């Protein structure tokens, strides 16, 4: 099991505004690109987004399904990565003063990743999470700005 945390300099509402936009998934999730809605209303339970997964020079179709959501604290996903199989990825979103503590917990479920799961794989996931959470933080901080009243403003409203 690979668990990693990152403190983001925005409110939980700002973090959720990025997590809830399936089109942005490929911008912060390492190894994915071209994300787009596939089924349902992301991120409602059972909805999914599709994207491409890049492993070296290889490119595979991937998809992620929302398995559980409990705003404002929890988002649990099942990511399908082609021949690598599936993984459970859980986000724990916690207010931390004026900031947000994001904790990600990922472990393989099925397929090659589940079969080969070991401490070395967890180390690689830790490195991936470090990059992924830093990307998420930069994206959240870029597309949202702290509001004077402690909330957030997004996009062109940010001043």
User: Any residues with CB less than 8 A from the CB of 44 and at least 6 apart, and which?
Assistant: 66, 69
Class of domain 2-144: alpha beta
| Paired strand residues for 65 | 48, 78
pLDDT, tens digit (0-9, with 9 covering 90-100), for 78-127: 998 777 789 999 999 999 999 999 999 988 888 877 777 777 777 777 78
Burial environment of residue 67 by CB neighbours within 10 A (0 to 12, 13 to 18, 19 or more): middle
Q: Are 116 and 26 in contact (CB under 8 A)?
A: no
Q: What is the pLDDT of residue 153?
A: 44
């Amino acid at each position: 099991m690979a668990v990693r945390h990152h403190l983001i300099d925005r409110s939980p509402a700002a973090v959720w505004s990025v997590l809830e936009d399936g089109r942005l998934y490929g911008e912060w999730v390492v190894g994915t690109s071209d994300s787009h809605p596939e089924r349902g209303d992301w991120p409602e339970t059972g909805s999914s987004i599709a994207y491409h997964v890049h492993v070296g020079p290889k490119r595979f179709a991937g998809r992620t399904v929302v398995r559980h959501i409990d705003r404002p604290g929890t988002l649990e996903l099942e990511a399908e990565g082609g021949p690598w199989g599936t993984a459970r990825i859980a986000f724990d979103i916690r207010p931390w003063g004026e900031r947000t503590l994001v904790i990600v917990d990922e472990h393989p479920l099925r397929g090659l990743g589940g079969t080969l799961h070991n401490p070395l794989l967890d180390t690689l996931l830790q490195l991936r999470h470090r990059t992924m959470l830093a990307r998420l933080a930069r994206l959240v901080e870029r597309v949202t700005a702290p509001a004077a009243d402690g909330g957030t403003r997004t996009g062109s409203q940010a001043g």
